[in-house]
Structure 1
């Protein structure tokens, strides 16, 4: 006897529960050629980027033996976000985003090669790493906003949230695999090879961007002053309570939740008594969780109240951070980081999707610049803060303090922000 599969009507089109969460829905955005070029080019480049990120953090700790110095490097990388992110939003609305991204990718490729050469020749010093981190931060400040906004030009609107979720999947697939490989390469060949591989990997995204054929979008041709256009974006954000709530949530998350990753090298060495390979596996554990949760979001995003799941994730995160602070074995640390990575990426996926589907096109670049500012500008401050806490009170205590600050905010969001909780 066959069981009848119930039908569900979505947007006037009937589908079955079987196809509702099927393979095609999970990877719907990949049917677009331009998005496929973006996806695979970014995937290769991100493998290199995460190799460099993982190796550089451990290299800094190896040179200085200071958790606080890890915070200094993260803070230096974030200073350009304070200076240039809002300006990048205006540029993203005024000029072709593909060209902007190619320029920023070439910029960051140059400094990856420079880092490799300085390390190969043993000229590198901690102070040089701070300067190079600042210069790489300039590239990130101008790259992040058009990179988020470009996705809207690669797929149809009905597949936009799926594309955003797949972006997170590719990002975190690299996060899951690349740090572990970086840890092994670091142990066998040294950090310079991790930096060299990253420089080479930028070619994949540069070549694939060049191969894209995009429809010409309507650019913002009104040549007001940059400050006036930024002010217009702020006023628009202030008037749209939903978007303001989302940016506020991502800001606090970046400041107090994401900063945990800054302490991975210190956790690997001081708590788990490990080495660069241990550090790589901690980074990878977070990435594994993020990939799993990103794929789930990609499959179900059209059928859930996204604001509700975002609000729940905000409450769960500080509780998980608290539990992680008491982990003292490699297995327990990895298990908790899989869960933490999944919750964090769910929050960013849902936030990004809600912003992209609720913002007017003429403000897209500027509003996304506020969203990227919440990460690239506030995460480094969080890194500096938690690094200093760890230096004075120890790594586990620093994580406990952050989670205790984050928890009241999470409860407030759940209890007193029904607009966000019911958003879709």
Structure 2
């Protein structure tokens, strides 16, 4: 469509829908497959973080490189390079040699399988709280990223290059967040990391909303991305290391629904509210909502631990 200059919003939306459907299978399979790529399961948190660091290193380098190509060769060449890059991905997957544990294929209806995943999470409050926190953040906090172009163009009177700086700042912060996660030793308190990273994310988003200068806004974007990276990686790692082998795929399906499934709804909601009340007001609200979400998560964890370790429970 880009190559032939067919700019039709309906077909762009349709292709986005197809891409979302593909990602629903792709992301779930890749996340579930990761545990089979690691010989020592204690290395799983570091592996997840290293995987995220590669993704965010690309986010750091990609916008700068794409900006040069876009301004010199055009957007059609950018899409062509993106298309060709998938050949390397497919080649790597063909070369993988995995020893996969075969599980008996379920003969039940997919909705029954989905309900089993729900029942499993309901019986595992520690996993459920992580998924719920991810859903709440995706709905009310993480959509600040979709408003970054507004900061670049309207608030700081910039252009595509300015937006590239915001993307690079986000990639820079997320990269350092991934490096931090990759250095964690086995047995770290992931719940604490989830709470601390959530606080950093929320405060940075509020600071971004009231930033008087572009430099300060870029710094706040980087810090917010660092917190977001640490939070999502911690939740992902906790779910992968605490879910039963037979239920890991279903658990991660709920995680992906809570993250990538809820995020478009949150982005639409926050975009509409930004149209009504202004971008900076809405982004500040997102940061405050993030603090409330962390407070609710912290209260739930404390209350759950008190129940688990009460004298009555001990008897």
User: Could you tell me the TM-score, scaled by structure 1's length?
Assistant: 0.69
Match of 2:11 among 128, 147, 162: 128
Any conservation in 2 of the 1:245–1:420 contact (CA below 8 Å)?
A: no
Residue 119 (structure 1) aligns with: 2
Shift of 1:418: 2.4
Displacement, 1:331? 1.0
- SS of 1:120 mapped into structure 2: coil
Contact 2:57–2:172, Cα closer than 8 Å, also in 1:
yes
Match of 1:369 among 253, 266, 269: 253
Deviation at 1:311, TM superposition (A): 1.5
| 1:119 and 1:192 in contact (8 A); partners too | yes
1:187-220: CA deviations, max 9, x gaps?
Answer: 3333222211111111111011001111131223
User: Is 1:149 equivalent to 2:149 in the alignment?
Assistant: no
Q: Distance in 1 between matches of 2:199 and 2:171?
A: 21
Pairing 1:218-367 to 2, within 5 Å after superposition: 218-302=102-186, 304-367=188-251
Structure 2 residue runs without a partner (length 5+) = 307-315
For 1:188 and 1:341, the matched residues in 2 are separated by 29
Distance in 1 of aligned mates of 2:75 and 2:121: 43
Residue of 128, 139, 150 corresponding to 2:22: 139
Name the SS of the counterpart of 1:201 in structure 2: helix
Shift of 1:419: 7.2
| Aligned 8 A contact 2:60 2:168 in 1 | yes
State the 1:315 CA deviation.
2.7
* Structure 1 residues not aligned, in runs of 5+: 1-117
Query: Secondary structure of the residue that 2:184 maps to in structure 1?
Result: helix
SS class of match (1:119): coil
CA contact (8 A) 2:45 2:181 kept: no
- Alpha carbons 1:272, 1:330 under 8 Å: kept: yes
Shift of 1:352: 0.8
Distance 1:345 1:411, change over 3 A: same
The one-character-per-residue Cα deviations of 1:326-376 (angstroms, maximum 9, x if unpaired) are: 124221111111111100000011111111110100001100000011111
Match of 1:162 among 36, 42, 46: 46
User: Is contact 1:256-1:402 (8 Å) kept?
Assistant: yes
**For the structure 1 residues 191 and 392, does the alpha-carbon distance in structure 2 shift closer, same or farther, using more than 3 Å as the test?**
farther
Structure-2 residue corresponding to 1:417:
301
Q: Is the 8 A contact 1:307 1:421 kept in 2?
A: no
2:285 matches 1:401: yes
So what's the TM-score if we normalise by structure 2? 0.92
- Cα deviation, 1:350-409, whole Å, max 9, x if unaligned, reads 111111110100001100000011111110011101111222222111201222333222
Q: 2:61 aligns with which of 147, 169, 177?
A: 177
| Contact 1:183/1:278 (8 A) holds in 2 | no
Q: CA deviation at 1:184?
A: 2.7
Aligned to 2:310: none
Equivalent pair of 1:315/1:414 in contact (CA under 8 Å): no
Deviation by residue 1:307-328 (Cα, 9 ceiling, x = unmatched): 1121122233222211110124
Could you tell me how far 1:152 is from its partner in structure 2? Answer: 0.6
Q: Secondary structure at the residue paired with 1:216?
A: coil
